[in-house]
Chain A
Amino acid sequence: MTYLFNTPDQQQEMLQTIGVDSLEALFSTIPSELRLNRPLDMHPALTEMELQAHVTKLAEKNVGPGSRVCMLGGGAYDHFIPAAVDEIARRGEFYTAYTPYQAEASQGSLQTFFEFQSLICQLTGMDVSNASLYEGGTCVSEAAFMAMRVTNRHDRVVLLGSLHPEYRQVVETYLKHLNCEVVIVPCENGCVDPAEVEAAMNDQTACLVIQHPNFFGTLEEAEQLTEIAHKYGALSVVSYDPISLGILKRPGDYGADIAIAEGQSLGTPLQFGGPYLGLFSCSQKFVRRMPGRLIGETVDRKGNRCYVLNLQAREQHIRRDKATSNICSNQGLIAIRAAVYLSLLGKQGVREVAELSCQKAHYAADQLSQIEGIDLLFNDRPFFKEFALSCSEGSDFLLRKAREAGFDLGPELSRFEYNNGSERYQTGVLVAITEQRTREEIDRLVMALKA
């Protein structure tokens, strides 16, 4: 039998030692009326060779970047992943280890996560980072919970209408049933009007959640919005694109209290939406209110520098219902990928990826918007690497035509529900351009759409 060790002889010997006469007898504590008296209804077992053939066949039924140029965005991006990232993440020492509770047997993971925390602080300009949360969406709800604890305001949070619609839905799922009012500031023209944000704030608001660049790829007035949040005693929560920080001001530069992100762009493949990486960092003064694992430096009994899980008294296995979060796992292996990615790229590499993505996206936007019937949905707004197109023939037409020519654009904005969203959104399609896209590809797409 696959993956088992003990031979029938050994099993008999072991049963004898235990003092029972059959494997079945080991299950005698399960009352017989609760037993399943038939085999599970499953496909027959497959050998490795058969499994590989089967899964390969399933994979071939999908159409991936092998045959399509990926210009999809909406929170998951096709950035380049250097081979060294896979090399480290494939080490059994990392991926077959458990959470580093036994520090002496886990210094490899612990130091790597400590360095991950350090790298995220350098990237964001924030004081402290945890060792990761699930993904970008739950980071927003965890940030909102933390803001409520810090401000002791539990009834109201304000989100920009330009937040990723799925992030907003996650926050609503987490907060609404706690009778916390989730206020959405309308976003009509691709980014919010600071005056409308100010109108939505009051002295009962725990936090203002800003996404910058926002869901439409557009830049928000993050600095000004942070000041507005602070004016009302609320925390400023900024959801950023980690790649954008190669050229954009860092959340720490303009006073964000909590900086969160979807970290998939940092060396993790798209893999149909997960597992991804929740990045969560904040100001030093809130460190004991943070959710998630934290790795700290200390010394061992001989005075050697070493690393441990720190401030565990915040966490569910100690504090139970009073914990700062119910989260138990983190995204360890994905955080390792991000640590390797950021180390490899360094300050120059991250800047180059950001610049290339930004330049190519602007070239693509210029070329595409010259096609008759295609316009930039928000044509006077600065953006980073992603922008929204509108098509006079409708978004389905645009997507289909691109697909036929071998390009995946999207997501189409009509895919999501918006609170107070503009009618114009129904016609929009997002396009994301990473450093991997070439002028030749962009020109080919433009030619195909002109035809």
Chain B
Amino acid sequence: MRNQLATESLFALSHQGRRGARFPASDVPEKPLDELIPKSALSTEPTGLPEVTESDVIRHFVNLSTLNMCVDTHFYPLGSCTMKYNPKRHERLAGLPGIVDLHPYQHTADLQGMLELLYETQEMLAEISGLPAVSIQPAAGAQGEFTALLTAKAYFEARGEKRTKVLFPNSAHGTNPASAAIAGFDCVQLASSKEGLVDLEDLKAHLDDQTAVFMVTNPNTLGLFEKDIKQIAQMVHDAGGLVYIDGANMNAILGYTRPGDFGGDMMHYNVHKTFTGPHGAGGPGSGPIAVRDFLADFLPGPVIKYNSAENEYTLENPPKSIGRVRTFYGNIGILVRGYCYLRTLGAEGLKAVSENAVLNANYLKAILKDVLPVPNGDLCMHEFVASASKTKAENGISAMDIAKRLLDFGFHAPTVYFPLVVPEAIMVEPTETESKETLDAFAETLRNILQEDPEFLHQAPHSTAISRPDEVIAARNPILKCCAPQ
């Protein structure tokens, strides 16, 4: 049960002279600080950090944590986010001595176990994608996109081509255009077809010798497989461009089809989604990319190589590397968890993941379709995008109202108002780690909600610690920190 007093404010707990951590006295002969460091560089007053005890800290943050919904406590069908169960074995193994305490600049002879693990991860990511060359460096999906786009740019430049445009459908994640812009490309947004797929005519109209990359999420953000993807890839390739697959939705197709087999030249994974990272309240993620062999020389360095003659793993920079996109080698802690997941499931297990993710999504869609219609597609993949526009028109109940009211019944809200192409969008991704019983309960709750008084729903949620924060006030006069302790 939450202790309201304890969650008031960390700074309000501060009392002069309290300590939460103590350190041993110095065991070396000490000198006055200003003999070691010029006085002009030394601070004249201490920082304004609070003074609290260890038990203050624990009570404060433990109580705060109880204000969250999370996968460990609730069904969390947040579309596009793949909120699957996070296995506890991963936490134990990623924390093992010899894994968690390795310094990035240790001698590679002392890192052979870690490099073997990461090399095998590269190999598995290559196999699952059908794209042979992997960089584990990107810190998250968005950085994976950026890295791949620079890789493509370097490839074209090496061929003496100057291509300036990146194309993507209007259902794309916001990171696609944002990454393209930072990589220095002009962004061209394409229309979607009536079916919610890439509009081939519009694509054709925009493809030319300036097209560098077509970015597409497949399955797309409506939860639909781009059935014409092979033809799309062919069109892009004929125009001399490359196809980028945003791998956010890989959970739907593991072992069934591979980006490399359906025409993709580059892709990123979201290890924190598909391979159960976990999400960590917003990160850290991990966004390794996989590319075709002709792009391998341009990848950021270092990559991990295996020298079978010497039975040795090494760190090497690709010959025409675009350079580094971050310090060190990648979000290793997350990749270790991904490795554990892949080794636990194996080929058969991964395929079963996708089968059950797709089964759960289609089942939930089927039992909800009379109240929450899904405008696009007959069968969906791992998620579906329903629309609340009917109930919005009939009795004013919006997607937001439904999302907020679900919280009262112990269900995390689905993603709402994304993708932008569906009005009153409700994007539901149940994942494979939920039972039929949970899905039935969720559907029944949703039906009940739609019978409730719309006025009551506009005020929802009613049982949470807070309800409907005022974002306008927050933005008008931003308060971004608490006041300093006295």
Residue among B67, B279, B459 making CB contact with A301, cutoff 8 Å: B459
Which applies to chain B's interface (DSSP): helix, strand, loop or mixed?
A: loop
Would you give the shortest CB distance from B354 to chain A, in whole angstroms? 8
Question: When the two chains form their complex, are residues A6 and B478 in contact, meaning their CB atoms are under 8 A apart?
Answer: no
Question: When the two chains form their complex, are residues B153 and A177 in contact, meaning their CB atoms are under 8 A apart?
Answer: yes
Count of chain B residues with a beta carbon within 8 Å of a chain A beta carbon: 201
Question: When the two chains form their complex, are residues A302 and B177 in contact, meaning their CB atoms are under 8 A apart?
Answer: no
B428 interfacial contact with A, CB 8 Å? no
Q: How far is the CA of A34 from the CA of B225 in the complex (A)?
A: 11
Question: When the two chains form their complex, are residues B106 and A344 in contact, meaning their CB atoms are under 8 A apart?
Answer: no
Residue among A61, A317, A329, A355 making CB contact with B282, cutoff 8 Å: A329
Instruction: Classify chain A's interface size.
Output: 35 or more
Question: When the two chains form their complex, are residues B139 and A274 in contact, meaning their CB atoms are under 8 A apart?
Answer: yes
Q: How far is the CA of A65 from the CA of B107 in the complex (A)?
A: 13
Question: When the two chains form their complex, are residues A325 and B182 in contact, meaning their CB atoms are under 8 A apart?
Answer: yes
Would you give the shortest CB distance from A81 to chain B, in whole angstroms? 10
Would you give the shortest CB distance from B486 to chain A, in whole angstroms? 13
B327 interfacial contact with A, CB 8 Å? yes
Question: When the two chains form their complex, are residues A173 and B323 in contact, meaning their CB atoms are under 8 A apart?
Answer: yes
Chain B 16-70 residues near chain A, CB threshold 8 A: 18-24, 26-31, 33, 36-38, 40-44, 46-52, 54, 56-58, 60-62, 64-70
Q: How far is the CA of A297 from the CA of B33 in the complex (A)?
A: 39
Question: When the two chains form their complex, are residues A336 and B255 in contact, meaning their CB atoms are under 8 A apart?
Answer: no
Encode B94-130 as 1/0 by CB contact (under 8 A) with A: 1011111111111100111110110000001001101
Q: How far is the CA of A31 from the CA of B9 in the complex (A)?
A: 56
B347 interfacial contact with A, CB 8 Å? yes
Question: When the two chains form their complex, are residues B327 and A166 in contact, meaning their CB atoms are under 8 A apart?
Answer: yes
Question: When the two chains form their complex, are residues A93 and B111 in contact, meaning their CB atoms are under 8 A apart?
Answer: no
Contact flag A439-B367 (CB < 8 Å), given A46-B344, A98-B78:
no
A321 interfacial contact with B, CB 8 Å? yes
Question: When the two chains form their complex, are residues A334 and B358 in contact, meaning their CB atoms are under 8 A apart?
Answer: no
Q: How far is the CA of A356 from the CA of B33 in the complex (A)?
A: 11
Question: When the two chains form their complex, are residues A328 and B141 in contact, meaning their CB atoms are under 8 A apart?
Answer: yes
Question: When the two chains form their complex, are residues A164 and B327 in contact, meaning their CB atoms are under 8 A apart?
Answer: yes
List, in ascending order, chain A residues with CB within 8 A of B67's CB: 106-108, 111
Question: When the two chains form their complex, are residues A82 and B328 in contact, meaning their CB atoms are under 8 A apart?
Answer: no
Question: When the two chains form their complex, are residues A347 and B469 in contact, meaning their CB atoms are under 8 A apart?
Answer: no
List, in ascending order, chain A residues with CB within 8 A of B225's CB: 29-30
Contact flag A64-B57 (CB < 8 Å), given A99-B279, A105-B412, A326-B145:
no
Would you give the shortest CB distance from A267 to chain B, in whole angstroms? 10
Q: How far is the CA of A61 from the CA of B313 in the complex (A)?
A: 12
Give the one of A20, A328, A349, A411 with max B CB within 10 A.
A328
List, in ascending order, chain A residues with CB within 8 A of B141's CB: 328-329
Would you give the shortest CB distance from A9 to chain B, in whole angstroms? 10
Chain A 100-147 residues near chain B, CB threshold 8 A: 100, 102-109, 111-115, 117-119, 121-123, 125, 128-129, 131-132, 134-138, 145
Chain B 206-250 residues near chain A, CB threshold 8 A: 224-225, 227, 229-230
Residue among B36, B104, B467 making CB contact with A270, cutoff 8 Å: B104
Would you give the shortest CB distance from A28 to chain B, in whole angstroms? 7
Closest to B112 in A: A61
List, in ascending order, chain A residues with CB within 8 A of B204's CB: none
Question: When the two chains form their complex, are residues A360 and B26 in contact, meaning their CB atoms are under 8 A apart?
Answer: yes
Of the listed stretches A10-18, A195-203, A420-428, name the one at the interface; the rest are far from the partner chain. A10-18
Question: When the two chains form their complex, are residues B328 and A166 in contact, meaning their CB atoms are under 8 A apart?
Answer: yes
Question: When the two chains form their complex, are residues B47 and A118 in contact, meaning their CB atoms are under 8 A apart?
Answer: no
List, in ascending order, chain B residues with CB within 8 A of A44's CB: 346
B334 interfacial contact with A, CB 8 Å? yes
Question: When the two chains form their complex, are residues A62 and B98 in contact, meaning their CB atoms are under 8 A apart?
Answer: yes
Residue among B37, B84, B94, B358 making CB contact with A26, cutoff 8 Å: B358
Closest to B98 in A: A59
Question: When the two chains form their complex, are residues A323 and B481 in contact, meaning their CB atoms are under 8 A apart?
Answer: no
List, in ascending order, chain B residues with CB within 8 A of A169's CB: 323-324
Question: When the two chains form their complex, are residues A135 and B326 in contact, meaning their CB atoms are under 8 A apart?
Answer: yes
List, in ascending order, chain A residues with CB within 8 A of B351's CB: 39-40
Question: When the two chains form their complex, are residues A415 and B105 in contact, meaning their CB atoms are under 8 A apart?
Answer: yes
Of the listed stretches A71-79, A229-237, A368-376, name the one at the interface; the rest are far from the partner chain. A71-79
Chain B 362-392 residues near chain A, CB threshold 8 A: 362-363, 366-367, 377, 379, 381
Would you give the shortest CB distance from B73 to chain A, in whole angstroms? 7
B466 interfacial contact with A, CB 8 Å? yes
Encode A328-345 as 1/0 by CB contact (under 8 A) with B: 111111101001101111
List, in ascending order, chain B residues with CB within 8 A of A382's CB: 36-38, 41
Question: When the two chains form their complex, are residues A84 and B283 in contact, meaning their CB atoms are under 8 A apart?
Answer: no
Residue among B30, B256, B283 making CB contact with A30, cutoff 8 Å: B256
Contact flag A15-B347 (CB < 8 Å), given A136-B327, A323-B174:
no
Q: How far is the CA of A250 from the CA of B44 in the complex (A)?
A: 10
Question: When the two chains form their complex, are residues B68 and A107 in contact, meaning their CB atoms are under 8 A apart?
Answer: yes
B93 interfacial contact with A, CB 8 Å? yes
Closest to B35 in A: A362
Residue among A173, A317, A329 making CB contact with B285, cutoff 8 Å: A329
B163 interfacial contact with A, CB 8 Å? no
List, in ascending order, chain A residues with CB within 8 A of B474's CB: 296-298, 308, 310
Q: How far is the CA of A219 from the CA of B484 in the complex (A)?
A: 28
Question: When the two chains form their complex, are residues B348 and A298 in contact, meaning their CB atoms are under 8 A apart?
Answer: no
Question: When the two chains form their complex, are residues B10 and A343 in contact, meaning their CB atoms are under 8 A apart?
Answer: yes
B267 interfacial contact with A, CB 8 Å? no
Encode A43-83 as 1/0 by CB contact (under 8 A) with B: 11111100110111111111111101010101110101010
Question: When the two chains form their complex, are residues A271 and B332 in contact, meaning their CB atoms are under 8 A apart?
Answer: yes
Q: How far is the CA of A346 from the CA of B225 in the complex (A)?
A: 52
List, in ascending order, chain B residues with CB within 8 A of A302's CB: 466-467
Closest to B27 in A: A439
List, in ascending order, chain A residues with CB within 8 A of B254's CB: 40
Question: When the two chains form their complex, are residues A99 and B227 in contact, meaning their CB atoms are under 8 A apart?
Answer: no
Q: How far is the CA of A74 from the CA of B104 in the complex (A)?
A: 9
Contact flag A320-B174 (CB < 8 Å), given A5-B435, A166-B327, A274-B329:
yes
Q: How far is the CA of A2 from the CA of B282 in the complex (A)?
A: 26
Encode B381-406 as 1/0 by CB contact (under 8 A) with A: 10000000000000000000001100
11 A-B pairs whose Cβ atoms sit less than 8 Å apart in the complex: A19-B366, A91-B62, A99-B282, A111-B64, A135-B327, A166-B328, A177-B183, A272-B99, A275-B334, A316-B175, A334-B284
